[in-house]
Amino acid sequence: MTGYALLIPELLVLLAAFWALFAEKLPGGDRGAAWLGAVATLAAAVIVAVAPLATTGGPFPRMLAFDGPARLARIVMCMLAAVWLLWTAGRGQGRVREAVSLALFALIGGMLVAEARELVTLILAIELATMPAYVLIGYRRGDGKGLEGALKYFLMSMLTTLIMLYGFSFLYGLTGTTRYSGMDLKGAGTLGVLAVLFAVVGLLSKLSAAPFHYWAPDAYEGATPWAVAFVSTVPKVAGAVAIVRLVSAIAPGVPLAGTVLLVASVLSIVLGNLGALTQTDVRRMMAYSGVAHSGYLLLGVAALSIPGSAAAIFYALAYAIPSMGIMLITAEEGSQVADFGGMAQRRPATAWVTVIMLFSLIGIPPLVGFFGKLSVFTAALQRGFTAVVVLAVVMSVVSAAYYLRIVRAMFFAEEPAGHLGVTRNGAAATAIGVCVVAVVALGLAAGPLLASIGVVLR
Amino acid sequence: MLTLIVFLPLLGAATIALLPKGRPEWPKWVAAAFSAVDLALVAWVVYRFVPGGGRQFAEKMAWIPQFHISYSMAVDGISLPMLVLSALLTFLAVVASWKIDSKPKFYFAMLLLLQVGTNGVFLALDFVLFYVFWELVLIPMYFLIAQWGGPRREYAAIKFFLYTLLGSVFMLVGIVMLYLKTGTFDMIRLAAIGHLLPAGLQWWLFLLFFLGFAVKVPMWPLHTWLPDAHVEAPTAASAILAGTLLKMGTYGFLRVSLPILPAGFLAWQWFIALLAMISIVYGAAVAFAQTDIKKLVAYSSVSHMGFAMLGIAAANVIGIDGAVAVSFSHGLVAGMLFLMVGMIYDRAHTRQISELSGLAAQMPVIAGLLAFASFASLGIPGLSGFVGEFLALLGAWGSNLPQWMVFVSALGVLFGAAYMLWMIQRVIMGTPSHVIADCPDATPREIFVVAPLIILIVAVGLNWNLLLNYVDPAARSLVKLMGV
């Protein structure tokens, strides 16, 4: 019975989500709900951090795992949500209560996705995590582009979920179980390959990895940068843990499993980086670069090894944290690259913070993004993917080309005419500050962190 | 000690960042103070350094023990001259930039940050640490070029950044592959066991590192970023770019490629010598055709660094002595040349050789200094430029490289004399052109900036052992390690 205490963080988030739903009638209103959400998610992160691991036991031991990867992912997702809610509490305008509660529901879904060790739980958790995301994308009701983006996301997501379900039915048919622990596809032949292929399609789409990434640029462009900040980060961390768990359960014994992932990885890295190169809208640029980063993450997964899996999970946070920070700054400044013009004069500290986060995404040491790339490449080279790694590093130079466009705008361009000034806001500044501190600190502490993921995955 | 030398400028940059905005005079004083102290510390290291005593001032502790990454630094006879260049040129660059009035905080913080990277590269003995410093250099240099550069600065800055990043990511792949084969990032340990790696693997690894280093040197045909970056960069950044950053490339060959991958090097030796030869002749020939005096100096860098690469390709003691001597001397000479060009441009507001003439009549001191730097560059015996090129050619002649390559390379010295003398003739001689009418001569500050360079150029030129005492033992142990 005490095992249920492990779900206290989820419960806290759930309570905050309900509070936000009825914020209209409750003291504090919309912003109060965001504040409460920020406090609840922060508390959840702290509780997860101090709670003991329950690798085998815990509540629902056949469905949920409370192991190291789950713990790390829950902490990071809760912190990301806390940052997002803190920013919302500071700068959120108008009717944000539904967004707050949607984000909190999506967070619970994301946490369950990271914990799921069984197919049906995974499907349910994924649905809980993505349903609110559709609404967040189309949050502005009168905005045609937002609705178009949300619809595209919804249709693509539904289609791939159905394919994934189809794959899960194969898995169940072949192994007679929906639990990861008992799955053994050895000797399943072609059917096993198809099962793996279909099963990962859904997660590839959730990670906006190629070739299922076409929804992302349109969906993000239609959404507010504020919504993108959440939708493009928190689900990716959950998705990374989920795909690592699923793949390490079903890939052994299936000959082409690694190849499928490797192809998706290469396609994502190439299409994402080349796609981002020509964008003038930060949301589209970050959508394509998110595709590319998912490709790097999948390169770790495709290595089908413990260091590779650890690297993939680590890469997810190395991507999500600066991405959150940059999208929040985009929400303040405006969604075009040109809107960043002259920022170094207007807001020098924020401009430098942006520089640090962009350099982390490029993979410049000693920031967290560098160690993410280093660990992924190490795992991939260990498996002999030398040519792919060379391609991947060359593509990371391409990524420097478009990330530097934002730097160039901030430092060497004029403020565009009619650009709205940004007022000072302590809560929002703290939120972005947390992101940049994490980018630097996790870079310096990358070793222990990576090792701890690797140890618990063993 | 070395940690202090590397990170003192970082402290300086942080101090500058915290200075109040309304005091544009303060940043340069802070920068000058920090870089002067740093130079003094380096001077102390030089004073206490025992020539022939191997690696000294070593510092080592675990950084990321899970991946065998350590924080490891030391200085030896090959890195010491480079460290001197880095510290000296940073200090001189700060003083040379005394008149910078646009965003002085940003500017001087970037100069000091740049020094963190260059000092660190020359001292790091752990590959991850080395790579951290290697990449750190890109960021301040990008901003220095893009913020204070010439009209095409943004293009030049991004080209510099992407080109060198492309080179270094290949190096990163090489570093990781080495780690996977040997289980260590320790460059000393790798140098001890590197020759045990299979020759085929060494061939590939050498290629990966070659791409990283050759872009930096730069060797033809990977040099195209250099003229753009040099021409657009502000004077001080040009001086550091030529004086220190290019040396990171040759230093990389000497610290990584030769000792760790001897078999890979042997397989590529001929090819490197060929590229070095082409760089020498091509750089000189293109320098001939330049109408912009700064571009002329930039292409002369390609040519001179070719001599350093020729010495490295020779891979014998004399050749390596020559390579380090060329690197050191070119740091002084090219640094000085860029400073002189900057002084002329500040006055005449043009760098076109055709528009400048009669410097000697209008500004005798500047003209004299320019002539001195040019003579040092073209390799007059008695000045430092001669030492390295002579040794590099001598080393190459005595090595197993085909002698026609050495012969063709030696022609580069002749070309070097020709384009430099022709430039001097057009710029210094004749009647003063209207662009330099009423221009004042060098100020005491400007003379102070180039004086240390002149002293070192003459001192090393007259007494080679001043430099070679330090370099030669290190070159001997390197050659012994390679077992060639």
pLDDT digits (tens, 9 = 90+) for A333-386: 888 888 888 888 888 889 999 999 999 999 888 889 998 998 899 899 888 898
Range of the domain at B230: 1-260
Mutate to test the interface with A, among B7, B66, B164, B204 (most CBs of A within 10 A): B66
Closest Cβ–Cβ partner in B128, B162, B172 for A393: B172
Q: From CA A189, how far away is CA A194, in angstroms rounded?
A: 9
Q: What is the pLDDT of residue A314?
A: 92
Mean pLDDT of A383-401: 90
Same-domain status, B247 and B277: no
pLDDT digits (tens, 9 = 90+) for B69-81: 888 888 888 899 9
- Indicate the range of A25-34, A265-274, A369-378 predicted with least confidence: A25-34
Please check whether residue A382 touches B, CB under 8 A: yes
Distance from CA of B212 to the nearest CA of A (A): 12
Q: From CA B105, how far away is CA B91, in angstroms rounded?
A: 16
Same-domain status, B327 and B353: yes
Tokens of residue A244, six digits: 């690592």
CA angle centred on B256, ends B251 and B260, rounded to 5°: 150
Same-domain status, B73 and B173: yes
Check if the beta carbon of residue B135 is closer than 8 Å to that of residue B118.
no
pLDDT digits (tens, 9 = 90+) for B23-49: 778 888 888 888 989 889 988 888 888
Cis peptide before A27 (omega within 30 of 0): no
A54 falls in which pLDDT band (50, 70, 90)?
low
Same-domain status, B341 and B241: no
Same-domain status, B216 and B324: no
Residue A57 scores a pLDDT above 70: no
Place of tokens 């958790």: A125
pLDDT digits (tens, 9 = 90+) for A207-238: 888 888 888 888 888 888 899 999 999 999 99
Check if the beta carbon of residue A88 is closer than 8 Å to that of residue A33.
no
Residue B112 phi, psi (nearest 5)? -70, -40
Task: Tell me the Cα Rg of chain A.
Answer: 21
Residue A301 scores a pLDDT above 60: yes
Q: Is A163 helix (H, G, I), strand (E, B) or coil?
A: helix
Q: What is the pLDDT of residue A1?
A: 52
Task: Give the DSSP H/E element, type plus range, for residue B5.
Answer: helix B2-18
State how far the alpha carbon of A9 is from the alpha carbons of A31, A48, A391, in Å: 22, 7, 41
Last residue of a domain, one of B201, B230, B260: B260
Check if the beta carbon of residue A126 is closer than 8 Å to that of residue A113.
yes
Same-domain status, B228 and B294: no
More confident residue, A258 or A107: A107
Q: From CA B261, how far away is CA A152, in angstroms rounded?
A: 53
- How far does CA B33 lie from the centroid of its chain? 23
Last residue of a domain, one of B260, B287, B316: B260
Mutate to test the interface with A, among B176, B203, B210 (most CBs of A within 10 A): B176
Q: Are the Cβ atoms of A447 and B132 closer than 8 angstroms?
A: no
Say how many CA atoms lie within 13 Å of A99 toward its Cβ. Answer: 29
pLDDT digits (tens, 9 = 90+) for A201-215: 888 988 888 888 888
Give every CB contact of residue A85 below 8 A, 6+ residues apart in sequence: A34, A35, A37, A38, A41, A100, A103
Q: What is the pLDDT of residue B396?
A: 87
pLDDT digits (tens, 9 = 90+) for A131-190: 999 988 888 877 888 888 888 889 888 999 999 999 999 999 888 888 888 788 777 778
Mean pLDDT of B267-286: 90
Same-domain status, B207 and B312: no
Residues in chain B: 484
Residue B222 scores a pLDDT above 70: yes
Chain B residues closer than 8 Å to A381 by CB: 173, 176-177, 180
Residue of B nearest to A393 (CA): B169
Residues in chain A: 458
Chain B residues closer than 8 Å to A310 by CB: none
Last residue of a domain, one of B227, B260, B293: B260
Same-domain status, B250 and B366: no
State how far the alpha carbon of B354 is from the alpha carbons of B183, B249, B292, in Å: 58, 34, 9
Cis peptide before A322 (omega within 30 of 0): no
Number of domains in chain B: 2
Check if the beta carbon of residue B291 is closer than 8 Å to that of residue B232.
no
Q: Are the Cβ atoms of B173 and A377 closer than 8 angstroms?
A: yes
Mutate to test the interface with A, among B7, B21, B64, B126 (most CBs of A within 10 A): B64
Residue A42 scores a pLDDT above 90: yes
Same-domain status, B252 and B277: no
Q: From CA B56, how far away is CA A54, in angstroms rounded?
A: 51
Chain B residues closer than 8 Å to A300 by CB: none
B-contacting residues in A 384-413 (Cβ below 8 Å): 386, 389-390, 393-394, 396-397, 400-401, 404, 408, 411-412
Q: What is the pLDDT of residue B232?
A: 85
Q: Are the Cβ atoms of B173 and A394 closer than 8 angstroms?
A: no
Residue A458 scores a pLDDT above 70: no
Residue B484 scores a pLDDT above 60: no
DSSP state of B186: B
Q: Is B435 helix (H, G, I), strand (E, B) or coil?
A: helix
Give every CB contact of residue B317 below 8 A, 6+ residues apart in sequence: B395, B472, B475, B476, B479
Chain B residues closer than 8 Å to A374 by CB: 128, 172, 176
Same-domain status, B3 and B136: yes
Same-domain status, B232 and B323: no
Mutate to test the interface with B, among A378, A405, A456 (most CBs of B within 10 A): A378
Mean pLDDT of A379-405: 90
Q: Is B62 helix (H, G, I), strand (E, B) or coil?
A: strand
Q: From CA A11, how far away is CA A122, in angstroms rounded?
A: 19
Same-domain status, B343 and B481: yes
Distance from CA of A414 to the nearest CA of B (A): 13
A284 falls in which pLDDT band (50, 70, 90)?
very high
Q: From CA B475, how far away is CA B16, in angstroms rounded?
A: 40
